[in-house]
Structure 1
Amino acid sequence: MTGPRPVLIVDDDPALSATLAEQLALEGEFATVEAPTLAAADAALMAEGARFDLVLLDIRLPDGDGREFCARLRRLGLRMPVIMLTGSDSESDIVSGLDAGANDYIAKPFRLNELLARMRAQLRAYDSSEDAVFKVGPYLFRPAAKQLHDPARNKRVRLTEKEAAILKFLYRAGGRPVPRNVLLNDVWGYNSNVTTHTLETHIYRLRQKIEPNPGEARLLVTEAGGYRLEPALDTQDA
């Protein structure tokens, strides 16, 4: 039910890039953007409203070195997983890539299933780390810290464990409505004592914390049979 994870593919080999994009999109697990140069990658990452959960990064690009680019991303505070893709698997190249801030390193040619497994492993680790930060309306959402931060107003909102789990699951749905029973099963697991009323109570309390006008929800919206998050909506301008 969760939405596809946005992935940036930075590689100047058009055949490889297109094949990767096609294969990663097959199961609906990932949504890809292709960048043949570091300049194009930079533009994609810095675009207004841009969100990428993972970057597949070649080392040798026409306009620079992927390792230097990765190091710059880390200096800018971008902490999403970066997996280096390269034709060289020498120890020195692997070490320099990891030292630049890459999370993993895979040599070409590679097996797609191995790449997928490594991507999933990196995303699982990232999602549960203190580094994970998601943009939700005017807030920066840190699931691990169970906290929302509105930088414009220097406002911090503390969430309960269940509130953070609800918000994270709705965010992962990519703006699509999530049925109540799906949300219940994901957040509470199978528990016969938990009803939709429990979920509705948590949604109510969450809206009290994040909506400027909880009676007219704009960020956490009720849909037929469930709920939907509008993560790109800036409630300060709504």
Structure 2
Amino acid sequence: MPGARPILVVDDDDALRGALVEQLGVNGEFAPAEASSLAEAEIRLKGGVRYEAMLLDVGLPDGDGRDFCRALRERGLKAPVIMLTASNEEEDVVRGLEAGANDYLAKPFRLNELLARLRAQLRSFESSVDAEMKIGPYQFRPSARQLLDEKGSKIRLTDKEAAILKYLYREGKAVPRQTLLEVVWGYNQAVSTHTLETHVYRLRQKIEADPQNARILLTDGGGYRLAP
């Protein structure tokens, strides 16, 4: 679903990797995939899924995770990378960060700390110019308030239109009109559901092939949702 965030877990410790994948997938916030080697990670990365973050072990059977991270950055990967390592020596931490990692966590670590750091990195990335989300046939760039279609053509969005899409994407389910109003416009008695409906109408004119028969931005009960 749109709200489940694809995360790639790369670690050769089967027990740890399995536990991380299980915990990340518990409440539907994340959609974790796993790899036990750099070769498997490459296959995952080439499989068509745009992972929003990566948990990457330093010591893997077929190479050093830091070298892999550096190579990914050189190839244009922008998503957050959190390095996992058995060492917390300053030199190792510096090497990981210099390779392009966003954060560094020494084993053993508490799951709650890992989740907190992961969410913090995702929030930071969301506000960066590099953030992208897949919505229907489009790549959505929230910070630029822009959609790119499959041919690379750009669709400009207003602040409110971008905020509506971003919130619906993150929720991954139907959102009541009143909730969207409060999130996007804040508490403002002068703003009514008609204002939201007008923005949704204009959004559909921009993104739907047939705005009268929406297939991307759907009306659902008393609110709206994005199609899976």
Residue 221 of structure 2 is matched in structure 1 by: 224
| Matched position secondary structure for 2:100 | coil
Residue 177 of structure 1 is matched in structure 2 by: 174
CA apart distance, 1:131:
1.1
Taking the TM superposition and a 5 Å limit, the aligned residue runs for 1:46-125 are 46-48=46-48, 50-125=49-124
Q: Which residue identity lines up with residue 212 of structure 1 in the other structure?
A: A
Separation in structure 2 between the aligned mates of residue 29 and residue 134 of structure 1, nearest angstrom: 15
| Matched position secondary structure for 1:144 | helix
CA apart distance, 1:150:
2.2
Residue 236 of structure 1 is matched in structure 2 by: none
**2:146 equivalent to 1:139:** no
TM-score when normalising by structure 2: 0.92
**2:12 equivalent to 1:12:** yes
| Matched position secondary structure for 1:205 | helix
Q: Write out per-residue CA displacement over residues 131-189 of structure 1, whole angstroms, 9 at most, x where no aligned residue.
A: 1011222322110111112251x421111111001111112233x32222222222122
Residue 163 of structure 2 is matched in structure 1 by: 165
| Matched position secondary structure for 1:31 | strand
| Matched position secondary structure for 1:132 | coil
Taking the TM superposition and a 5 Å limit, the aligned residue runs for 1:143-158 are 143-152=142-151, 154-158=152-156
**2:200 equivalent to 1:203:** yes
Q: Which residue identity lines up with residue 158 of structure 2 in the other structure?
A: T
Q: Which residue identity lines up with residue 199 of structure 2 in the other structure?
A: H
Q: Which residue identity lines up with residue 193 of structure 1 in the other structure?
A: A
Separation in structure 1 between the aligned mates of residue 159 and residue 17 of structure 2, nearest angstrom: 39
Separation in structure 2 between the aligned mates of residue 14 and residue 81 of structure 1, nearest angstrom: 23
Q: 1:125 to 1:201 in 2, by over 3 A?
A: same
TM-score when normalising by structure 1: 0.88
Taking the TM superposition and a 5 Å limit, the aligned residue runs for 1:185-196 are 185-196=182-193
Q: Write out per-residue CA displacement over residues 14-35 of structure 1, whole angstroms, 9 at most, x where no aligned residue.
A: 1111222223333443332121
| Matched position secondary structure for 2:144 | coil
Separation in structure 2 between the aligned mates of residue 204 and residue 104 of structure 1, nearest angstrom: 41
CA apart distance, 1:9:
0.9
The aligned length equals 227
Separation in structure 2 between the aligned mates of residue 29 and residue 141 of structure 1, nearest angstrom: 19
Q: 1:123 to 1:190 in 2, by over 3 A?
A: same
Q: Which residue identity lines up with residue 5 of structure 2 in the other structure?
A: R
Q: Write out per-residue CA displacement over residues 46-100 of structure 1, whole angstroms, 9 at most, x where no aligned residue.
A: 213x132211100111122211221222223221110000001222221221111
Bigger CA drift: 182-191 or 21-30? 21-30
Long gaps (5+) in structure 2: none
Residue 234 of structure 1 is matched in structure 2 by: none
CA apart distance, 1:218:
1.5
Separation in structure 1 between the aligned mates of residue 168 and residue 71 of structure 2, nearest angstrom: 31
Percent identical pairs in the alignment equals 63
Separation in structure 2 between the aligned mates of residue 52 and residue 183 of structure 1, nearest angstrom: 26
